[in-house]
Amino acid sequence: MTTHALLIVLTAAFLHALWNAVVKGAPDKTIVLGLVALGHAIPALFALPFIGLPVWAAFPFVFGSTLIHWGYYWFLNTAYKHGDLSVVYPISRGMTPILVTVGAILFAGEFLPPVAWIGIVCISVGIGCLSLAGLGRHTNWIAVAAAFGTGVMIASYSIVDGIGIRLSGNTLGYIAVLFVAEIFVAGFIFTTRWRRLVALPRRYVWAGLAGGVISGLAYGLVLYAKTIAPLGVVSALRESSVIFASIIGVMWFGEGPKSNRLLAATIVAIGIVVLAMAR
């Protein structure tokens, strides 16, 4: 994997952890997720006339990804209502690299060398250590189940978008259309919960919109990376965001316990180095 692609995905990983922290810290997570979706759509709507549309063959993938994202938002909202960031985030992201790598084999005919598999497994094991560190007697199992559902949704839209953007003929156009489509998510949330939106303190409104811009930038970087690197490798590197999320969970939200995090971070770091060396 090139250094260029590596740096792009690691930057996206940090930004992804950051916007998840914004959602976790909000008093009304459903409304803030709607604002995140709106933060995707508004900049993309303004950019679309200047960058153009993807080819028509890519639109079924945009439609499929949009539907999957509805499920993703629902599971993510449920998970954060009932669980800690440092528990939910590692579980939902940890299962994704393996699922995406297998999906890329089945649907994109994309086979990775053994060294790349070692790196992906290292990252997944490291993330698994973080998941176990956050579990205990007081774990909310609704949050755990929702986190697993979130992981399946992430793997699904990662594969769909990875194939779609390669067919698009216009990388930026595909990203813009995908983000514009999220206006339907925001519209559904706000029209059915208008009073809750009005009652939300302004600082959380702006935080949600900013989170949407950050999230959009993060996913846009990942989608671009999928045009220059294998889907499974990009997915695994992106999930290094769990290290950032765990640190934010402990330092920002005071979540615990803190044990095993150093070990997990070390294993994930080894996986990143191995993937960077894989060709």
Compare 209 and 14 and report the one with higher pLDDT: 209
Residues 6+ apart with CB under 8 A from 191: none
* Cβ proximity of 237 and 16 under 8 Å: no
**H helix intervals, the chain:** 3-24, 29-51, 59-82, 85-94, 96-108, 114-134, 141-167, 171-180, 183-192, 194-199, 202-225, 231-238, 241-251, 261-277
Cβ 94 vs Cβ 151: under 8 Å: yes
pLDDT at 71 over 80: yes
Dist. CA 26–CA 165, nearest whole Å: 32
DSSP 115: H
pTM assigned to the model: 0.78
| pLDDT on residue 279 | 57
Using a 10 angstrom Cβ sphere, with 0-12 exposed, 13-18 middle and 19 or more buried, the burial of residue 239 is buried
Residues 6+ apart with CB under 8 A from 141: none
pLDDT at 1 over 70: no
Contact 80, 88 (CB under 8 A): yes
Judge whether residue 49 has pLDDT over 90: yes
- 121-142: average pLDDT: 72
Which pLDDT tens digit goes with each residue over 90-113? 788 777 888 888 888 888 888 888
Longest Cα–Cα distance of the chain, Å, equals 54
The Cα–Cα gap between 76 and 93 comes to 11
List the Cα angle 36/41/43 in 5-degree steps: 105
